[in-house]
Amino acid sequence: MSYHVPVLLKESIEGLAIKPNGTYLDLTYGGGGHSGEILKKLEEKGRLIAFDQDSAAQANIIKDKRFQYIHGNFRFFGNFLRYYNISHVDGILADLGVSGFQFDFSGRGFSFRKDEKLDMRMNTGTRSTAEEILNNYDSENLTRIFGQYGDIHKPDRLTNNIIRFREKKRIRTTRELKEIVGRIKPSINANKYLAKIFQSLRIEVNKEKEALIEMLNQIPDILNRNGRLVIISYHSLEDRIVKNFIRNHPTPKAMADGCQNCNNESNKDCLTRFKSNLIPVNKKVIVPSADEIRKNNRARSAKMRIAEKVIR
Ligand SMILES: C[S@@+](CC[C@H](N)C(=O)[O-])C[C@H]1O[C@@H](n2cnc3c(N)ncnc32)[C@H](O)[C@@H]1O
């Protein structure tokens, strides 16, 4: 079993422009594919600190005296670094989303291709599962997450089906969720539709949007001058947040609202207003080559952005 095939490996490591004796963070350790490559570029005084909130990732910990692993959510990475007396780092990598292991082998209901309990927690120590959301959220909130996190067309139709089903019986498994969707999913791109529904639930269960915004907000203070940030994202909501963060361009509406980490959901670009001191390294977003996608189909939706800290 391969735990995870790292995506955009060569490009992301190049993007970090690693200083051999620098200090680096891998915020999403998973199978350690990216971490392993970072370590290869580090010399004796180099240091790598990696985070993952899924305890399963601990099975992949690399034994190396330059490496430290922290089981925790990256939204608190600044606190962890303070605890370890690390004030600044030279590069930060975040390869967002879920690992191949989580999809294929965790048994937590991430994939619509399996019949599993609707859990979807990356950190099984947290409270809310997909089952709880599907059975307890009111229709307004269900429609919100399917619309915003899944870009589902007419999300209220899906919500109505869920409410009708759960009036008779508690929704517990991925098979039952597929049964609920069955009647309304389009005949073309049916799997894509299912994937979007599962994705939106996963984002809500793991509070992925909130974690990403909190993580990004800590980066400007922690990166050293000329330090690099490399972020790989897998859906448009994440990529938009990262893009806005790096460009440091709040929308006029965000400016008018004076919103900080705003929740103005009607304006998709108004996700947050950052005071960033980063500049993009590449004009265009970086995507995997056709060859990489052919070898690893899961890479197909990846988008990578690289930024460098500047002192203004
Ligand atoms: C796409 S995988 C990373 C794969 C890794 N780059 C590799 O080469 O194996 C994403 C990983 O990030 C972890 N993760 C996602 N959100 C997280 C968060 N907020 N805090 C910590 N870990 C997170 C997941 O548990 C998962 O293991």
- Tens of pLDDT, residues 167-195: 999 999 999 999 999 878 887 788 999 99
233 lines ligand 1 (CB under 6 A): no
Structure tokens that stand for 99 in this block: 């690992």
Residue nearest to atom 27 of ligand 1 (CA): 30
Q: What is the mean pLDDT of residues 6-10?
A: 98
53 sits in which H/E element: none
Q: d(Cα 27, Cα 5) in Å, to the nearest integer?
A: 17
Q: Are 173 and 115 in contact (CB under 8 A)?
A: yes
Atom of ligand 1 nearest to the CA of 36: 8
Residue 265 in this model has a pLDDT that exceeds 90: no
Cβ 66 under 6 angstroms from ligand 1: no
> Of all protein residues, whose CA lies closest to atom 2 belonging to ligand 1?
99
What is the token pair recorded at 127?
A: 């409270």
In percent, the amount of the chain with pLDDT more than 90 equals 83
CATH superfamily of this structure's domain 9-101+208-309: Vaccinia Virus protein VP39 (3.40.50.150)
Contact 174 CB / ligand 1 (< 6 Å): no
Q: In sequence order, which ranges of 234-309 are alpha helices (DSSP H)? A: 236-247, 252-257, 290-295
Mind listing the pLDDT tens digit for each residue in 202-243? 999 999 999 999 999 999 999 999 999 999 999 999 999 999
pLDDT value for 225 = 95
Residue closest via CA to ligand 1's atom 12 equals 28
Please tell me the residue having the least CA distance from ligand 1 atom 24. Answer: 98
* Domain spanning 127-205, CATH architecture: Orthogonal Bundle (1.10)
Across the range 269-275, mean pLDDT stands at 48
Closest residue by Cα to atom 22, ligand 1, is 52
Q: Is 30 in the pocket of ligand 1 (CB under 6 A)?
A: yes
What residue ranges of the chain are covered by domains with CATH 1.10.150.170? 127-205
Nearest CA among 4, 38, 6, 79 for reference residue 302:
6
Question: How far apart are the CA of 283 and the centre of ligand 1, in A?
Answer: 26
* DSSP count for the chain of H helices, then E strands: 13, 7
- Best of 11, 12, 29 for a ligand 1 pocket test (most atoms within 8 Å of beta carbon): 29
Q: What is the residue type of 236?
A: S
The verdict on the CB of residue 15 being under 6 Å from ligand 1 is no
pLDDT for 58-100, tens place per residue? 999 999 999 999 999 999 999 999 999 999 999 999 999 999 9
Helix (H) or strand (E) holding 190: helix 190-205
Task: In whole angstroms, give the CA distance from residue 254 to residue 268.
Answer: 11
- Is the beta carbon of 57 within 6 A of some atom in ligand 1? yes
Residue of minimum CA distance from atom 20 in ligand 1:
73
* Lowest mean pLDDT across 31-35, 258-262, 300-304: 258-262
Atom of ligand 1 lying closest to residue 35 CA: 8
**Ligand 1 atom 3 nearest Cα:** 30
SS3 301: helix
Query: How far apart are the C-alpha atoms of 20 and 47, rounded to whole Å?
Result: 9
DSSP state letter for 105:
T
pLDDT of residue 187: 76
The per-residue b/e assignment along 236-258, b for 16 or more CB within 10 angstroms, e otherwise, is ebbbebbbbbbebebbeebeeee
Residue 183, pLDDT score: 77
Name the residue among 281, 293, 284, 283 with its Cα closest to residue 230.
281
Q: Do 231 and 205 form a contact (C-beta atoms < 8 A)?
A: no
According to CATH, where is 3.40.50.150 located in the chain? Answer: 9-101+208-309
Asked if residue 52 has its Cβ within 6 Å of ligand 1, the reply is yes
pTM for this model (two decimals): 0.92
- Which of 236, 235, 246 lies closest to 268 in space, CA to CA? 236
Comparing C-alpha atoms, which of 221, 205, 59 is closest to residue 135?
205
- Assess whether the C-beta atom of 73 lies below 6 angstroms from ligand 1: yes
Is residue 52's pLDDT more than 50? yes
Two tokens at 71? 């089981």
How far does residue 98's CA lie from ligand 1's centre (Å)?
A: 6
